[in-house]
Chains A and B, each alone.
Chain A
Amino acid sequence: MTDKKNKRRRITPGRAMVSTVMLFFFLAFFLLFLKDFNWQSLMLALAVPVIVLFGSVGISKLFPADTLLLSLTNFLCALGVLVLYRLSPERGLTQAVNYGIGVAAMIGCTLLIRYMPSFRFVNWAFMLGSVALLALPLVIGTEKNGANSWISFGGRSFQPSEIVKLALLISLAHMLSKRKVIVPMGFAAVCVLILAVQNDFGTALLYFGTALVLGYAATGSVLLVGAGAGGAAAAVVLGNMIIPQKFARAMSRVNVWLNPWQDVQGAGYQIVQGLIAMANGGLWGVGLGAGNATVIPEHYNDFIFAVIVNEFGMIFGLIVVAMYALIMIRGIMIARNARGVFHALLATGCAAMLALQVFVIIGGNIKLIPLTGITLPFISYGGTSLVSSLCIIGLMQGVAARNAAGVNEDRELAMQGGGWR
């Protein structure tokens, strides 16, 4: 990077990873091709490594971006395409298309953060729009898996909460960086309430956790965290009194979590089949294409982690967890290099939101916490989820790009003999 004349390629961790990842996906799709000689598999065997190459190295050629972050993200996205394609080719192909859209959206978000001077004028629009979008399913929504948080639009359905995530992150970071606390926390509380009313407890938990983490990062106040947790507890108690039947539903989930084996064929079926799928995989997995994880309800969505462990093994599953951890740590590093409070908080929020989402859904899969239906970022089937997760990475990349640009500015200033601004 320092000497542009030096064309000899150095092997950086990012580069080494990209080539390994390309090889992995070529071999994996080729294996699927050998199974049924479907030309689509062969096409994907060539196309996916190329997308990975573009998504990881190509983008960093366009503007200074974090190659390691990109290659990790791309690996996970491509893994999602692979696993979904193996489970059902149509879903895999749809996911591949969404992956392409997501990469474009990610670039858009990067550029937005890189060049947008301030969000002062759009902040209120973001907040009002968020609440309106979130509340929309209550008016024209359709129900899916018990959660009334979906909107059908031209034959396709999506969850507004996935898009609102981005606005929430930007708005919270913006207001908290201006030393406001009441308004952003109130905004987050309204969002969480709307989601809880829609029975989308997983997303509500995610929003709640992210808001608390961001509030803590901005203020350093344990009191705030305590007040947030206390408020949530009070809301649960109050809600239990007003609408008990709804909370009975939530409690039944907790009971299933405590002992899913009590009702193996009924309420506990999904989680039990998920655990069995993981046990079938063991440490090394049954092999790509050899598992039967399709018996799990929502295997392509909430339980995609169980499918991965089933076919690739627990060790691979833990590596996937480690990759998410690396993405989170990378995000925090970007935040700590940021040159303003807004950008620091934004990158922290992105990292925290992804990390919490991973924890909530994988924790639910392995029965560490009660299961709530949310997607595994980058991997689960679903256009909105994939695009919004990639957008979150885009926001992080935008901060990273700003950091790099800032360093260059300093250097130029120093060369001109200028001091610190």
Chain B
Amino acid sequence: MAESGIGASVPRTEDQRFLTGSGDYTDDTTFPHQTHAAFVRSTHPHASFTLDTTAAASAPGVVTVLTGADLAADEIGTLICGWQVTGKDGEPHKAPPHPVLAVDTVRHVGDAIAIVVAESARAARDAAEQVEVSYAPLPAVVSMRDALADGAPQIHSDAPGNLCYDWEIGDRAATDDAFARAHHVARLDLVNNRLIPNAMEPRSAIGDFNPASGDYTLRLTSQNPHIHRLVLAAFIQIAPEHKLHVIAPDVGGGFGSKIFIYQEETAVLWAAGKIGRPVKWTADRSESFVADAHGRDHESHVELALDADGRFLGLKVSTLANMGAYLSTFASCVPSYLYGTLLQGQYTTEAIYCEVKAVFTNTTPVDALRGAGRPEATYVVERIVDQAAREMGIDAAELRRRNFIPADAFPYPTKVALEYDSGNYRLALDRALEIADYGDFAARREASSARGRLRGIGLSAYIEACGIAPSQVVGSLGAGVGLWESGGIRFNPTGNVLVYTGSHSHGQGHETTFAQLVSDYLGVPFESVEVVHGDTEKTPFGMGTYGSRSLAVGGSALVKAMDKIIAKGRKIAAFTLEASEEDIEFSGGDFAVAGTDRSMNIAEVAFSAYVPHNYPLDELEPGLEETGFYDPANFTFPAGTHVCEVEVDPETGTTEIVNWVAVDDFGNVVNPMIVEGQVHGGVAHGVGQALLEGCAYDADGQLLTGSFMDYTMPRADDLPDMTVETTCTPCPHNPLGVKGCGEAGAIAAPAAVMNAITDALGTNAIDMPATPQAVWRALSE
């Protein structure tokens, strides 16, 4: 293994700029003649309103105040949902209009009403306070059950009963039959708590317009600049794609929340066109809390049927999923195709049936958040498995072993539409238990007990589906986009390499990982590789980064491009070395004539391609630059087992995580250091969900957890040191054998924590977040 090649923990290239304060985040840029925007937002969860912008428009420093009426006059479209889910009834989901600026009616606290553009951010904020909004409050619905109740206030006239869709997957009859044969049925009601994403960098956007050329530029916090361009051009219709340049520079974390096309960047871009000057908006954190799409928010009833030996006969799940007030960009697919399809877990459960009602409420829209549907599925499966184990008196690990899909059963068609490609679940479980010293747990529990503490251990044998694909399949399921990725390789005449990827790095370290991949594959020095991403005018059209897809899909696209480079290089080398193309072998950056010492380095080949003095110009074009597009044959299926051990203080209800072990199968790993870091971060997100984070609205629809003072983010002393290991069954259908690692921790962790806590407490009656108060109450009841 080369020091910087595939499998090496290379320190990250991007760190130099981040560590010296030289990062290039959206808000760090100031354009000449830049103006600043502030939004007027609804303070009511549901109200009709009228506006008077006169005072604001004449406030000091104000350039313009624009409203929904101005948008309509300019025929600017509404925001869209890019995935159309079809319900049980064969009807498409309800996607009511989501105006860029609300017209007549606001539907959640934070809904944007007007944009105020001024010479400074302060002037814009001051003037926004001068916009007179007269609200006539309408009855609001906050909980999903209230929203579905007969006679509930209607949020959208075209979504009767506040129902977005009623969807199902699996085989109801077969599942009913399985339950009829059951020896034991475990039942559980679960809440998957609503989370607020809170990437540390608030969202930001700077729109610009050049009246001379008609070109628009949008610099923003995006995980997928080309998707932003496509939607803003084709659907919202601010400018055609070739006249819109979207740049996502350094982005300070996304976790899903920066995938979506929001009100603010749309309004900022449009406003820039109207005034012919750059317009910058950067959210303050209070805005992020009400305006960034939230995550999760499911209520589920789950039943697991087992035979006398504890084999899983059937799984039945019924879920309500909160969509919030409008259908966000990919909201519809999260509690359906990214959720119901994962209910097989790692098990041979014989029959599965799941139905999901997606519901509108007067709350901030809900969409994909780190894991997106898969944490919810894992939570359902892994909680009910533990409960069944306890009820049947079978060890939780043993029950899982009895039901694992065996390592020799792949490819394994699931009962919920997917085909698992590879895995060895038992291997990961056994290794995790070994590291966690599972066998000795009873003694540790006793020792804790002697100190008046309750100790528990929880497992989570999770599975996820990453690198969502193939395009034809997702298209047939309602996706409005393809889910391939692009990659470009450009050799310069001097032999160094520019790598263009449609993926986007916002913390994942692509500039390092992709450079390792290219350096290793093409045999060029790591230092000679530069990765370019996040700019629609530099990179080929690409789909961006989400769903743990970058290496599996984006990396594979680069392999496609590199294979073309090598193929062309082989021809050039054959010509130069006067050998037949078939005799040229490529290895370690050298094209060599088999069985001889004649060879040519790829840098020499590149030089020859650009200075084609001795070159087969009649057969080959000059230059050495190739682009690859890769559309995967299947999802990848990372899986593994996480073990969480907790100690609960029954006096205070405080839970301390005393040990964390993660053993994950990510297939092949390019940079183990980065992969480990991704697991740490994912686990922290999942621990946050399980112990600390819970978005709360009051009964009227006001967000109560609207700042870091009330919304509990995980801090350093909430989290343990973690032991992270990997196993490896390479993905059989992508050229790198890689699977994806960015979401695993967030998917695995909540169930592991809650299984540990319920083990410690001896009761299942506790929901996330298991705050000290919730634990104390559970113990008191």
A and B pair up: no
